[in-house]
């Protein structure tokens, strides 16, 4: 399945930009949360940006992405606008979901982003339905479902893999194994190797270093090729690491440590996907410091503008919940 294709320099720089945008947006949201600025909570994917960036680089607006509670990265990498993300999380009418969804439910259907889910694992059935729609459309489009190591213990994953394998649905499973589900290290709640579960359904499996964006990109190139050619689903298990707390309020409620500061610090120092890509680009003489800094600066500006947009936004009217609930039309 694997195509021996790697991202060229301009593609690498795109990946770098995407990761920087996610990083800055999420650092901002972390700061906003600490400052008491956010109406709700946020789950940040800092340290995991390479998975979103490498996978979504191969998708178009026609392809669908179903996401999780830790979904800002998926949203941004799939083409969602930073300003629509920030305004949404600020609870503003100008947000992608008009302030009705928030961090847990960011969606932009015009970009094929069919929603983040607050119910762990529940994006999997929704994505299965979207992949059935792709299959019926028969136009080479596909659906990607992102989910965590924790979500892989939901029964719907096995149900869905059976559907997708049986019907050869154009569905890519991306398990972001970030070593934890809430405050439980994966191995304490999960038997065996997660991606081995797909093998039982004869679904091709790839295991990849989820902090190496070029490796993710390359793995995805092969997977997308396989899926778009009508051969059915693929399962990618991306090994990565959650640098931040499970949610930003964690330190206030969790008193028993479930990992050491040293471990987190080591991962931050040695396995930062942005640093890993920049170092490689420089070592290979493909991009210099100035080029990387310019991308960094562009991303920062984009996020700053998004924050200004969110700040200037308006709270939605009080009675819109009922208005958005039903369309009230028929075909």
Partner 1 sequence: MARTRFIQAINDAIREEMERDEKVFVFGEDVEASIFGDTAGLAERFGKRRVRNTPISENTLTGMTVGAAACGYRPVLHIMFANFLFTGMDGVANQLAKARLMSGGQIELPATIIASYGGGRANAAQHSDTPYSAFMNLGGVHLVVPSNPADAKGLLKSAIRSNDPVLFFEPGGRGGEMGDVPDEEYLTPIGKAAVVRQGGDLTLISMGSTMRMTIQAADQLAEQGLECEVVDVRTLAPLDEETICAAAERTGRVVIVDESRERASAASHIAAVVAEKSFGHMKAPIRRVTARNAGLPLAPASEQYLLPNVDKIVAAAVEISENGRLPA
Binding residues for partner 1 (CB under 8 A): 64, 66, 95-101, 105, 107-110, 114-115, 117-119, 122, 124-134, 136-137, 143, 155-156, 159-160, 162-163, 166-167, 321, 323-331
Q: Taking the complex as a whole, how short is the minimal distance between the CB of residue 199 and partner 1, in angstroms?
A: 18
Pick between residue 89 and residue 281 the one whose CB is nearest to ligand TPP. Answer: 89
Angle at 22 between CA 129 and CA 141, to 5 degrees: 30
Answer with the entry of Mg ion, ligand TPP, partner 1, none that 65 interacts with (C-beta below 5 to 8 A by kind): none
Are residues 235 and 205 in contact, defined by beta-carbon separation less than 8 angstroms? yes
Q: Which residues bind ligand TPP (CB under 6 A)?
A: 69-70, 118-120, 148-151, 178, 180-182, 242, 246
Q: What is the Cα–Cα distance from 121 to 302, expressed in whole angstroms?
A: 31
Determine the Cα–Cα distance for residues 28 and 85; give it in Å rounded to an integer.
Answer: 12
Residue closer to ligand TPP, measured from CB, 69 or 72:
69
Q: Residue 109 is encoded by which pair of tokens?
A: 């259907």
Provide the terminal-to-terminal Cα distance of the chain, rounded to the nearest Å.
Answer: 42
Specify the residue, 183 or 201, whose C-beta has the smaller distance to partner 1.
201
CB-nearer residue toward partner 1: 171 or 287: 171
Name which of Mg ion, ligand TPP, partner 1, none residue 70 binds, using a CB cut-off of 5 to 8 Å depending on partner kind: ligand TPP
Give min distance, CB of 65 to partner 1, in A.
12
Which of Mg ion, ligand TPP, partner 1, none interacts with 206 (beta carbon under 5 to 8 A by kind)?
none
Task: Calculate the alpha carbon distances from 50 to 54, 240, 242, 270, 318 in Å.
Answer: 6, 9, 12, 14, 39
Nearest approach, Cβ of residue 16 and Mg ion (Å): 25
Integer Cα distance of 175 and 127 in angstroms: 14
**Least distance in Å: CB of 125 to ligand TPP?**
12
Instruction: CB nearer to ligand TPP: give 242 or 271.
Output: 242
Structure-derived torsion over alpha carbons of residues 71, 74, 80, 82, reported in degrees to the nearest 10: 60
Residue matched to tokens 């096995």: 158
Closest CA to 306 of 1, 3, 50, 22: 22
Measured from the CB atom, is 70 or 72 closer to ligand TPP? 70
Q: 176 pairs with which residues across the strands?
A: 148, 238
Beta carbon nearer to partner 1, 8 or 159:
159
**Shortest gap between Cβ of 172 and partner 1 (angstroms)?**
14
Q: Which two tokens stand for residue 92?
A: 């503003």
Q: In degrees rounded to 5, what are phi and psi of residue 175?
A: -90, 115
Contact 50, 240 (CB under 8 A): yes
Residues near Mg ion (CB under 5 A)? 148-150, 178, 181
5 binds, among Mg ion, partner 1, ligand TPP, none (CB under 5 to 8 A by kind): none
Tell me the two tokens of residue 184: 């439980």
| Shortest distance in whole angstroms from residue 94 CB to ligand TPP | 27
Query: Among partner 1, ligand TPP, Mg ion, none, what binds residue 162 when CB lies within 5 to 8 Å by partner kind?
Result: partner 1
- Nearer CB in complex with ligand TPP: 185/317: 185
Name the residue among 147, 54, 66 with its Cα closest to residue 106: 66
């Amino acid at each position: 399945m694997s195509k021996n294709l790697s991202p060229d320099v301009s593609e690498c720089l795109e990946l770098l930009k995407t990761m920087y945008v996610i990083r800055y947006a999420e650092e901002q949201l972390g700061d906003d949360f600490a400052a008491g600025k956010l109406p709700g909570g946020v789950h940040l994917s800092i340290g995991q940006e390479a998975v979103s960036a490498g996978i979504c680089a191969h998708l178009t607006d026609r392809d669908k992405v179903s996401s999780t509670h830790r979904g800002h990265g998926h949203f941004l990498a799939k083409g969602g606008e930073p300003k629509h993300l920030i305004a949404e999380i600020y609870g503003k009418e100008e947000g992608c979901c008009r302030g009705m969804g928030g961090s847990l439910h960011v969606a932009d259907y015009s970009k094929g982003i069919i929603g983040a889910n607050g119910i762990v694992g529940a994006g999997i059935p929704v994505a299965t339905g979207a992949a059935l729609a792709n299959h019926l459309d028969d136009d080479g489009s596909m659906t990607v479902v992102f989910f965590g190591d924790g979500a892989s213990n939901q029964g719907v994953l096995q149900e869905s893999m059976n559907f997708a394998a049986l019907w050869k649905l154009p569905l890519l499973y991306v398990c972001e194994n970030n070593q934890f589900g809430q405050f439980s290290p994966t191995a304490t709640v999960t038997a065996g190797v997660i991606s081995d579960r797909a093998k039982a359904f004869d679904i091709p499996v790839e295991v990849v270093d989820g902090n190496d964006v070029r490796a993710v990109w390359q793995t995805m190139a092969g997977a997308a090729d396989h899926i778009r050619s009508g051969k059915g689903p693929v399962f990618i298990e991306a090994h990565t690491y959650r640098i931040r707390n499970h949610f930003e309020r964690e330190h206030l409620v969790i008193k028993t440590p479930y990992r050491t500061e040293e471990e987190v610090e080591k991962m931050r120092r040695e396995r930062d996907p942005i640093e890993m890509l920049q170092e490689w680009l420089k070592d290979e003489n493909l991009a210099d410091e100035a080029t990387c800094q310019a991308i960094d600066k562009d991303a920062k500006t984009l996020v700053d503008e998004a924050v200004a947009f969110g700040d200037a936004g308006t709270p939605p009217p009080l009675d819109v919940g009922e208005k958005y609930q039903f369309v009230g039309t028929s075909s």
